[in-house]
Amino acid sequence: MKEALELLRESEAMLEGHFLLSSGRHSDKYFQCARLFQYPDRAAAAIAPVAKQIRAAMASGSLAVDAVVGPAIGGIVAAYELGRQLGLPAFFTERDESGNMSLRRGFEVRTGEKILICEDVITTGRSSGESAMVLKALGAEITAVACVVDRRAPGAEDLAWPLYAACKVSAANWDPADCELCKKGVPAVKPGSRKVF
């Protein structure tokens, strides 16, 4: 089975340049996982190592999961594929008209339901955190987070839950005031779908 990083490259899903991330930070790499997910076989292969890690944790009793939830838009396909491989329900949170994360479309969680949040890429964990707040307010328990690409900066604050990732990639992650590419006058582009808040 191909490694996730190889699948990202093969799908031209790892871009290099000067990018404005959804978090408001700047980077020299951008992961457009939609390009990977357009190929169902590659999506399945990229998620497979994550599913394997989670199945092992569940079998050992160190992790319990009742459903997988992905923050829209990047987490929708990732959560669906992970849910498919684990044999669990998968659905998504999304932003409402005010830009707040919410659970809509008739999706529901039960009190005490154990939820694993799955994203395509984690940079700061902000979307996972926003989804977790919504789900916890509805009575769910967040037990873990998963992703295809963990691109958190070295020394970044740990997430509040265990993280299962297909690959860890080193990529620049600058505050705009400290961005090396801005200092060189290289214009930044924003290829993602979410507004920068």
Residues 152 and 27: beta-carbon distance below 8 Å: no
What is this structure's pTM?
Answer: 0.86
For a pLDDT cut of 90, what percent of the chain falls above it? Answer: 70
Q: Per-residue b/e over 84-95, b at no fewer than 16 CB within 10 Å?
A: ebbebebbbbbb
Rounded distance between C-alpha atoms, residue 128 and residue 105, angstroms: 19
The Cα-based distances of 168 to 46, 125, 183 in angstroms read 13, 14, 27
Regions of the chain short of the pLDDT cut 70? 1-2, 192-197
Per-residue pLDDT tens over the stretch 28-73: 988 899 999 999 999 999 999 999 999 999 999 999 999 999 999 9
Output the pLDDT for position 61: 97
Q: Write down the domain spans for the chain.
A: 49-173
The token duo for 45 is 């292969």
Architecture of domain 49-173: 3-Layer(aba) Sandwich (3.40)
Structure-token pair, residue 192? 């993602």
Q: What is the pLDDT of residue 194?
A: 53
3-state SS assignment for residue 196 = coil
pLDDT on residue 193: 55
